[in-house]
Structure 1
């Protein structure tokens, strides 16, 4: 089959890879019908070590079940399914608490020995715990574009707002106008936020953010942007800050715009190990820091009905579509900010 592999910084190739096969009785084989490139895929695109054997890429996909292990009980061949960006058994202590990304037996698609989702097919472990069947929708439905966001970016945006405790009447600041940031805006709006300040400087993206529910846009960066948010919030800052970037300047921006007693929720994959938590950052203002890798498996069934009914359209974050052979160009376009998020069709 054809699959996307990365061999070094900027070196993305479509190669012939072995066809996946059932390995365990709890596996499913899935033919992928939609996938996409994630902003987090750009981190290795910039800085991974040269790897002669390459690394399979992709963790967001929708597909059709082609074969099942003998112990799979909740799925059938032919089902259209959504795969979250982490696989999980659905039964361990953490899964039963809704923390699927900490599953004792689970993991992520980019682990050694796992296939990536930017490919024609994939083996899915713990199929009952991992995959979510989409009722009444086939692989040709236009709803697939929005359903694809449930594999990561919509669930991650929701996680940011949910972990921050966004509720009716809140003032929320969202840092980052990428797909996750925009869907954090949508999620904050769905949870009842009254004022949503989107910090971003790409007009096409922030315009979409306004359509998703942002009431204010702050295009300024650094100290100027911080001052603008404080001005908009009466000098005190936002009660809830959703950080959807993952770089240190975004984290610093977050603790400088949060209101005393407020919450910072981080879902941008941190590209740093050490961050300030002392008196001048978190301690002095009694700030709560939360967030982490979104357990999107726990959100898919909650968020799916609004997509199926057409009342929300998170798929609008996709502004370019390519076939599998176009994936290397998709990485370049997203890295150069020519595309917000690229969908892959098969």
Structure 2
């Protein structure tokens, strides 16, 4: 089969790799229909994460079940399914508590040991606990089918950020970051009923997209007075989502949250080194996060997508065939694309 393989900084290639096969009774083989390139994939691409040549890439995919092991009962061949960015056994204490990313047997797609989502086929361990069936109404609708891909990571992560921050109906939310996760955080805040939503970023086109998703106000994060402007708009908010993962965005989040509020950080941390513990202590501010248990949210989000309540499909600004994935990486690296959808096979 063909798959995207990491060879070094800014060197990813689509090449032939071994086909996956059922290894355990709980396995399923999924033929990938759509896969995504994530902002976190750019860390190895840029050479800032220590990946080894030969690693598979991609942790977001939807596809059709081709075969199942003898122990699989929840899905069957022909089902159209979504896979969260990590697999889990569904039976340990963490899974039962809805924290599947801490599962005792959890793993992540790609790397040296597992199939990556950016390939033609994926072996899925713990298929019954990991895979979520996509409704026929979504499968039949091209726009919703692409939107379902976002649920496997960025939409689920944005939703986790909004939930962890305590966004509630009639309330106010601030979402820092105008990447795919931040934009999905705006969608989530709107879905949860926030009355006022402030999107903070520095790309005008993305902030305009945030307004289309339900942001009532936008603030340029590069403005030296950004914190004061946010506080002026909100009058102080108890729910702040940090969706970037950098020191400056965390500092801004702590500056604008009001006493007694919560900052949830769901941007993959890169370069964060300090936390203003005096601010947390003196203001009774909670800092929560981070790695989203997307599997816990997938059924609710899938129902919302099918009902037309959410639609994160616009975050995919570029669509390419699987052989074009190196071009997709370049487009995201150069900020030409927010997120890339790879069309791998027919649904």
Q: TM-score, normalised by structure 1?
A: 0.95
Q: Give the 5 Å matches for 1:67-86.
A: 67-86=67-86
Q: CA deviation at 1:164?
A: 1.1
Give the Cα separation in 1 of the matches to 2:107 and 2:223: 36
> Is the contact between residue 191 and residue 310 of structure 2 (CA under 8 Å) also seen in structure 1?
no
Q: Give the 5 Å matches for 1:255-266.
A: 255-266=254-265
> Is the contact between residue 54 and residue 112 of structure 2 (CA under 8 Å) also seen in structure 1?
no
Residue in structure 1 matched with residue 127 of structure 2 by the alignment:
127
Deviations 1:243-264 (A, max 9, x none): 1111111111111111111100
Residue in structure 2 matched with residue 286 of structure 1 by the alignment:
284
Give the Cα separation in 1 of the matches to 2:50 and 2:310: 40
Q: 1:140 to 1:34 in 2, by over 3 A?
A: farther
Residue in structure 1 matched with residue 113 of structure 2 by the alignment:
113
Q: CA deviation at 1:182?
A: 0.7
Q: Give every structure 1 segment of 4 or more consecutive aligned residues whose post-TM-superposition deviation is greater than 6 Å.
A: none
Q: Give the 5 Å matches for 1:1-346.
A: 1-46=1-46, 47-49=48-50, 51=52, 53-137=53-137, 141-142=141-142, 143-221=144-222, 223-234=224-235, 237-272=236-271, 274-279=273-278, 281-346=279-344
Q: 1:97 to 1:111 in 2, by over 3 A?
A: farther
Q: CA deviation at 1:50?
A: 6.8
Q: TM-score, normalised by structure 2?
A: 0.95
> Is the contact between residue 44 and residue 51 of structure 2 (CA under 8 Å) also seen in structure 1?
no
Q: 1:50 to 1:278 in 2, by over 3 A?
A: closer
Give the Cα separation in 2 of the matches to 1:285 and 1:27: 48
Give the Cα separation in 1 of the matches to 2:70 and 2:128: 12
| Secondary structure at 1:22 match in 2 | coil
> Is the contact between residue 334 and residue 340 of structure 1 (CA under 8 Å) also seen in structure 2?
yes
Q: CA deviation at 1:111?
A: 4.7
> Is the contact between residue 306 and residue 312 of structure 1 (CA under 8 Å) also seen in structure 2?
yes
Q: CA deviation at 1:277?
A: 3.8
Q: CA deviation at 1:310?
A: 2.6
| Secondary structure at 2:148 match in 1 | helix
Give the Cα separation in 1 of the matches to 2:221 and 2:2: 43
Q: 1:75 to 1:203 in 2, by over 3 A?
A: same
Tell me the C-alpha RMSD between the 2 structures: 1.5
**Structure 2: unaligned runs, 5 residues or longer:** none
